[in-house]
Amino acid sequence: MTEERSAVVVRDIRKSYGELKAVDGVSFTVAEGEFFGILGPNGAGKTTTLEIVEGLRKPDSGEVRLLGESPWPRNVKLLPRIGVQLQATSFFDKLTAKEQLQTFGSLYGVSHGTAADMLELVGLADKANEQENKLSGGQRQRLSIACALVHDPDIVFLDEPTAALDPQARRNLWDVLRAIQERGKTIVYTTHYLDEAEILCDRVAIMDTGRILALDPPAVLVRGLDAPTHVTLQKGVLSVVDASALEGVDEAHEDEVSLTLSTRRPAPVLSALAERGALDGLQVRTATLEDVFLNLTGREYRA
Amino acid sequence: MNAFKTLSVAMLKGFLRDKVTLFFTFLFPLMFLVIFGLILRDVGADKTRIAVVGDGPIVSALRDSGALELEPYNDESSAVQKVKDGDLPAALIVRGQQLDVRFAQSDQVKSATVLGIINGFVDKANLAATGQPPTFTFAAEKVEDASLKPIQYLTPGILSWGVAVSAVFGSALTLVSWRRKQVLRRIRLAPVSTGSVLSSRILVSAGVALVQGVTFIGIASLPVFGLKLSGQWWLAIPLLLLGTVAFFALGMLVGAFAKTEEAASAAANIVVLPMAFLSGTFFPVDQAPAWLQTVSKIFPLRHMNDGMLDVLVRGKGIEALAMPAAILVGFSLVVGFVASRVFKWEE
Ligand SMILES: Nc1ncnc2c1ncn2[C@@H]1O[C@H](COP(=O)(O)OP(=O)(O)O)[C@@H](O)[C@H]1O
Ligand SMILES: [Mg+2]
């Protein structure tokens, strides 16, 4: 990927607060149209990284280029091309959803008609005349995202848009994020949900204590882990001894309810099981980003 | 869409939809205006009442002059009883040519006034009876003095105070709430100048100040309160606007230091309340001790107040604006500069 076609280029940025190295040498590039995720537990340095990239904070050292330009000091030429949702939902007092969008739009010289389109996009058309403080958490997040998009920016930065939402609201928001990507936007977003990053992101940077530990498409990260696939069957369908003897099975063990086989070659194992008609209650669990995190840091992932 | 215009509209809507702010901007100062206006309405206007038994040319002359209010009684004993009870300061008993006055000893000032007035009328009648032209004559004419009827100083004072309160609180609370909710940082990410954001908020405050002016003066002019505007009352408009800017700057300074809306609100009160009391909002400063008058001169509200009094009720012209305007502009520049130095975009 050449730098000319990169929407975001970050080179070795660092930021310390006293002794604390909030961001400790982070580098990455994001291609145009890419959905890029920064994944990490609280305090990993995601927000600090994002705000340096947006031009809200000055890094102690390192360099940032957005669409070929430096975002710091405040670069008015660049501002219309980036859309930002801050970690806190920032709204004007006492305005309705539509008025919020119109007001943010006017800061960019956008016509009022766009506000209605944006409400449609984030599924808030029926809440247009509702005051912002009367919306639910998920609706506020969606409105906040719409406010970041109202001026049709090329790059969108979203800081934990799905934090503190219930599972249904999170899933609704995923649809919104996918719709934004389909419009050809570059999305840089942070999350502490592993499953979500795995589903949404083209590439994901796993961050911890101010550093990027790994950066790849989620599938590559998981595959690179070379972790075994776990196949679970109902207890009694097959004995532990028979199971261990199957081709490709590394290990088999049984508890009160189920029999679990570990394998690095799931295909022959599954066909052998099918031949024996032993597919009752079959579940296959492959490695996830959680395993990747555990492998990288040596500790369980805790958001 | 023009950012300045939309921002102004957005802020105006936010203002109009906030009932607490509306209360403190309009109803709260109006409550003071109405209560003080009614309590103090008759101060300096009440005449002394006395009891009168009988009638005659002197009594008619007294009644026509309006110098005293006369309360007629049929018999002497009930009139004197009124004096004994302390209800009336004196009783005038007319027996043909003979006038007796029975007065209460407790209130010597009032009694002396009553005696003096009656004596004056008796002397005049005696002189007229002789048919001689008077050796000395005197003519009395009313002079518009510097001491004003209460509503005349209350209205300019409460108006200045109301404008100061709403400008200080408006800017301090907006600033703190925007910083806390990250609206400031979000605005900074838009290609819009700080100037247009600031000026749109000041425009809203200025509009509010003008509406306050119209409302307060309108209500004070109702017959119950009886405010009489003099000459060039419209000179109050530039004062309202300059005052708004000055107190807006003060609010920005308060808002720069406060972390929460509650803290901003408390700090604004600590700044505004003493200033209001010492600047002649509720009583005329020229009745205060000299040292207090000197102290009050450090407050911009005092000068705004003086200017308001001069142009609204003292009938002074544009020259009365020079000093207050210069001080308000100077205050705005200095405080605004300091506020911009200590301004923070984020917590
Ligand atoms: N303004 C600040 N002053 C001091 N410490 C900060 C500041 N901002 C962030 N930090 C610290 O830097 C670290 C990274 O924070 P942040 O970037 O917000 O992490 P994340 O977004 O991944 O939760 C945290 O330990 C946080 O406490
Ligand atoms: Mg964060």
pLDDT at A156: 96
Tell me the residues of chain B between 157 and 176 that have a Cβ less than 8 Å away from chain A: 174
Q: Which two tokens stand for residue B7?
A: 């921002």
Of B189, B188, B208, whose CA–CA distance to B198 is shortest? B188
SS3 for A210-243 is CEEEEEECHHHHHHHCCCCEEEEEECCCCCHHHH
pLDDT, one tens digit per residue, over A59-73 is 999 999 999 999 999
Q: Using most ligand atoms within 8 A of CB, pick from A16, A19, A20 the residue to mutate for ligand 1.
A: A20
B199 and B291 in a single domain? The answer is: yes
Share of chain A above pLDDT 70, in %: 98
Q: Is residue B135 part of a domain?
A: no
Ligand 1 contacts (CB < 6 A) are: A 17, 20, 22, 40, 42-48
Cβ pair B271, B254 in contact under 8 A = yes
B304 and B176 in a single domain? The answer is: yes
> Is A112 part of the contact surface with chain B (CB cutoff 8 Å)?
yes
Mean pLDDT of chain B: 88
B180 and B299 in a single domain? The answer is: yes
Residues of A in contact with B174 (CB under 8 A): 93
Q: Which two tokens stand for residue A92?
A: 């004007």
This complex has an ipTM of: 0.83
Kindly indicate the confidence band of residue A103, based on its pLDDT and cuts at 50, 70 and 90.
very high
Residues of B in contact with A112 (CB under 8 A): 1
Of B125, B132, B134, whose CA–CA distance to B94 is shortest? B125
Sign of the Cα pseudo-torsion (A79, A83, A89, A91, in order): positive
**Exposure b/e, A125-152, CB count within 10 A at least 16 = b:** eebeeebbeebeebbbbbbbbbbbbbbb
Tell me the residues of chain B between 179 and 208 that have a Cβ less than 8 Å away from chain A: 181-183, 185-192
Query: Strand, helix or coil at A49?
Result: helix
> Is B19 part of the contact surface with chain A (CB cutoff 8 Å)?
no
Residue B143 has pLDDT above 90, yes or no: no
pLDDT at A8: 97
Distance from the Cα of B196 to chain A's closest Cα (Å) equals 10
B22 and B126 in a single domain? The answer is: no
pLDDT, one tens digit per residue, over A250-271 is 888 888 888 888 888 888 888 8
Find the closest chain B residue to A102 by CA distance. Answer: B6
Q: Using most ligand atoms within 8 A of CB, pick from A39, A48, A57, A190 the residue to mutate for ligand 1.
A: A48
Q: Which two tokens stand for residue B8?
A: 């102004």
B107 and B230 in a single domain? The answer is: no
Alpha carbons A205 and A38: distance in angstroms, whole number:
5
Q: Which residues contact A29 (CB under 8 A, 6 or more apart)?
A: A1, A3, A6, A8, A9, A10
Which atom of ligand 1 is nearest the CA belonging to A159? 21
pLDDT at A127: 94
B254 CA distance to ligand 1 middle (Å): 27
Residue B198 has pLDDT above 80, yes or no: yes
**Which residues are found with C-beta within 5 Å of the ion, ligand 2?**
A 47, 87
> Is A17 part of the contact surface with chain B (CB cutoff 8 Å)?
no
pLDDT, one tens digit per residue, over B288-334 is 888 888 889 999 999 999 999 999 998 888 999 999 999 999 999 99
Q: Do B182 and A86 touch (CB under 8 A)?
A: yes
Of B307, B303, B325, B327, whose CA–CA distance to B316 is shortest? B307
Q: Is residue B144 part of a domain?
A: no
Mean pLDDT of chain A: 90
Q: Is residue B141 part of a domain?
A: no
> Is A71 part of the contact surface with chain B (CB cutoff 8 Å)?
no
Q: Which of the ligands is closest to the CA of residue A18?
A: 1
Query: Strand, helix or coil at A82?
Result: strand
Query: Is B321 buried (19+), middle (13-18) or exposed (0-12) by CB count in 10 A?
Result: buried
> Is A6 part of the contact surface with chain B (CB cutoff 8 Å)?
no
Kindly indicate the confidence band of residue A1, based on its pLDDT and cuts at 50, 70 and 90.
very low
**Any idea what DSSP says for residue B343?**
-
B215 and B102 in a single domain? The answer is: no
pLDDT, one tens digit per residue, over B233-287 is 899 999 999 999 999 999 999 999 999 999 999 999 999 999 998 888 887 787 7
Among B130, B159, B174, the domain-final residue is B130
Query: Is A61 buried (19+), middle (13-18) or exposed (0-12) by CB count in 10 A?
Result: exposed
pLDDT, one tens digit per residue, over A124-171 is 999 999 999 999 988 999 999 999 999 999 999 999 999 888 888 888
Query: Strand, helix or coil at B1?
Result: coil
The vertex-A172 CA angle with A169 and A177, nearest 5°, equals: 120
A159 CA distance to ligand 2 middle (Å): 7
Residue A285 has pLDDT above 80, yes or no: yes
B230 CA distance to ligand 1 middle (Å): 62
Mean pLDDT of A224-235: 84
B37 and B176 in a single domain? The answer is: yes
CA A205 to chain centre: 9
Alpha carbons B247 and B195: distance in angstroms, whole number:
17
Q: Is residue B143 part of a domain?
A: no
Half-sphere exposure of A267 (CA within 13 A, CB side): 0
Mean pLDDT of B66-80: 86
B220 and B275 in a single domain? The answer is: yes
Share of chain A above pLDDT 90, in %: 56
pLDDT at B257: 94
Angle separating helix axes A113-121 and A167-182, nearest 10 degrees: 130
B112 and B23 in a single domain? The answer is: no
pLDDT, one tens digit per residue, over B36-70 is 888 887 665 567 888 899 888 888 888 887 778 88
Instruction: Please name the residue that has the structure tokens 């000299």.
Output: B290
First to last CA, chain B: 31
Alpha carbons A234 and A245: distance in angstroms, whole number:
18
Among B130, B157, B181, the domain-final residue is B130
Query: Is B227 buried (19+), middle (13-18) or exposed (0-12) by CB count in 10 A?
Result: buried
Q: Which domains does chain A have, with CATH numbers?
A: 3-221 (3.40.50.300), 228-285 (3.30.70)
Of B204, B274, B294, B192, whose CA–CA distance to B241 is shortest? B204
Alpha carbons A61 and A59: distance in angstroms, whole number:
5
pLDDT at B145: 55
Q: Do B183 and A90 touch (CB under 8 A)?
A: yes
Query: What CATH code is carried by the domain that includes residue B60?
Result: 3.40.190
Q: Do A108 and B181 touch (CB under 8 A)?
A: no
A132 CA distance to ligand 2 middle (Å): 22
Residue A238 has pLDDT above 60, yes or no: yes
B183 and B96 in a single domain? The answer is: no
pLDDT, one tens digit per residue, over A114-132 is 888 889 889 899 999 999 9
Q: Which two tokens stand for residue B205?
A: 């405050």
Highest-confidence segment of A1-10, B131-140, B178-187, B277-286: B178-187
pLDDT at A303: 64
- The shortest CB-CB distance from A99 to any of B10, B181, B182 is to B10
Among B76, B97, B130, the domain-final residue is B130
State which H helix or E strand residue B257 sits in.
helix B236-257
B204 and B92 in a single domain? The answer is: no
Find the closest chain A residue to B184 by CA distance. Answer: A90
Share of chain B above pLDDT 90, in %: 50
Residue B111 domain boundaries: 49-130
Name which of A204-208, A251-255, B1-5, B16-20 the model is least confident about: B1-5
| Phi, psi of A238, rounded to the nearest 5 degrees | -150, 145
Alpha carbons B151 and B217: distance in angstroms, whole number:
10
Q: Is residue B310 part of a domain?
A: yes
Angle separating helix axes A113-121 and A137-149, nearest 10 degrees: 130
Q: Which two tokens stand for residue B332?
A: 């705005």
Residues of B in contact with A107 (CB under 8 A): 3, 7, 187, 190-192
B74 and B156 in a single domain? The answer is: no
A230 CA distance to ligand 2 middle (Å): 33
Q: Is residue B264 part of a domain?
A: yes
Q: Is residue B219 part of a domain?
A: yes
Name which of A247-256, B29-38, B51-60, B142-151 the model is least confident about: B142-151
- The shortest CB-CB distance from A91 to any of B7, B181, B191 is to B181
Q: How many domains does chain B have?
A: 2
Q: Is residue B136 part of a domain?
A: no
Residues of A in contact with B10 (CB under 8 A): 92, 95, 99, 102-103
